[in-house]
Amino acid sequence: MKFGVLTGGGDCPGLNAAVRAVVFRAHRGGHRTIGFLDGWKGVLEGQTRDLVPEDLADGILRGGTVLGTTRTNPFKTPEGSARVTDTLHRLGVEALVAIGGDDTLSAAQALHRLGGKVVGVPKTMDNDVGATDWTFGFDSAASVSMDALGRLRDTAASHHRALVLEVMGRNAGWVALATGLAGAADATLIPEEPFDEDALMGHVKKAIADRGFALVVASEGIELGPRKGTAGNQDDFDHELLKERRVGEEVARRIEAATGVESRSAAIGHIQRGGSPTLFDRILATRLGAKAVDLAVEGKFGQVAVLRGSEVVGVPFAEALRTPKTVPADWRDLLHTFEP
């Protein structure tokens, strides 16, 4: 068979591990693989490179994606759909592996509905793809933000300040939750919960009274009140660019106004998305990439390789994309157990 592979959406650690697994697994079965450059844009434009195992021998160690990525939505127009099917036909691609989050996978689902032979691999630092227990990229990103919170702790303690760390995550609070829980924040603000300013100030005041400083984690997707900023500034899949709302800055400003304690904020932005993947992400990405090839070889197109418990299995696109995974009540309860 001739395989094609692409990475779409925001990059995250583990993408190269997944591409490597596709190439090695396909090669072991006697199949060829080409990579499409820059996500669906490469399929639209027919931009490819050959991929052989030697190219990716140490890919499991590397952040980013060797294939490049964009947030291009190829099915926005009928011309785009036609160009995608034309390219795959012209290049003789018999199985396409689309590695991405909800947006990339919904484009793959659209291709499958048109008769395309495609399987999916979920990734995203946001950890919000419904059908999989965890997505690779999340563990690496949250480990970076946990480290950042540890560094802010030193400055907060030395200067007796309140420090707010803003993290990514879009409309899911997983990165903030993991950072706040593992990094011992005094309050963690996630989009799944309405912003409760009184409760926040209560936690901050108690932390300051107890030990002279406070640490708060704010997810970029929280709603603090009337929208400021970036209405209309959206990507190809109509998502607002959330970092431009600067919620961390605003939370710090409100803390200083309400408590009189000197407050600062830090937004680590794309620093969370770069660097070498963690052990967990390397292994998960490898297992999912290999499973995607197995699904295609078995003719199970229209499926996404996901993690269920300790097993990797295939589930239909519709199931994988049905509901984005946000932070449920039991996790929120655990998080709040540790707030002062």
Active site positions, annotated: 126
* Residue 42 backbone phi and psi in degrees, to 5: -65, -30
End-to-end CA, the chain = 58
Q: How far is the CB of 23 from ligand F6P (least distance, A)?
A: 24
Task: Pick left, alpha or beta for residue 184 (phi over 0 → left; psi -120 to 50 → alpha; otherwise beta).
Answer: left
10 binds ligand F6P (CB under 6 A): yes
Q: Please give the C-alpha separations between residue 232 and each of 184, 224, 238, in angstroms, as whole numbers.
A: 36, 19, 9
Q: Which stretch binds ligand F6P (CB under 6 A): 148-156, 168-176, 245-253, 317-325?
A: 168-176
* Residue of the chain from 25, 31, 62, 170 that contacts ligand F6P (CB under 6 A): 170
169 binds ligand F6P (CB under 6 A): yes
| Nearer to ligand F6P among residue 17 and residue 242 (C-beta) | 242
Instruction: Annotate each residue in 237-256 with x if it binds ligand F6P (CB under 6 A) or - if it does not, as one string.
Output: ----xx--------------
Q: Tell me if 274 sits within 8 A of 12, measured CB to CB.
A: no
As beta bridge partners, residue 167 has: 219
125 binds ligand F6P (CB under 6 A): yes
325 binds ligand F6P (CB under 6 A): no
Q: How far is the CB of 101 from ligand F6P (least distance, A)?
A: 6
| Nearer to ligand F6P among residue 126 and residue 250 (C-beta) | 126
291 binds ligand F6P (CB under 6 A): no
How much is the CA Rg of the chain, to the nearest whole Å?
Answer: 21
Nearest of 12, 27, 36 to residue 57 by alpha carbon: 27
* Residue 14 backbone phi and psi in degrees, to 5: 115, -15
Residue ranges that bind ligand F6P, judged by CB under 6 A: 10, 101, 124-126, 168-170, 220, 241-242, 273
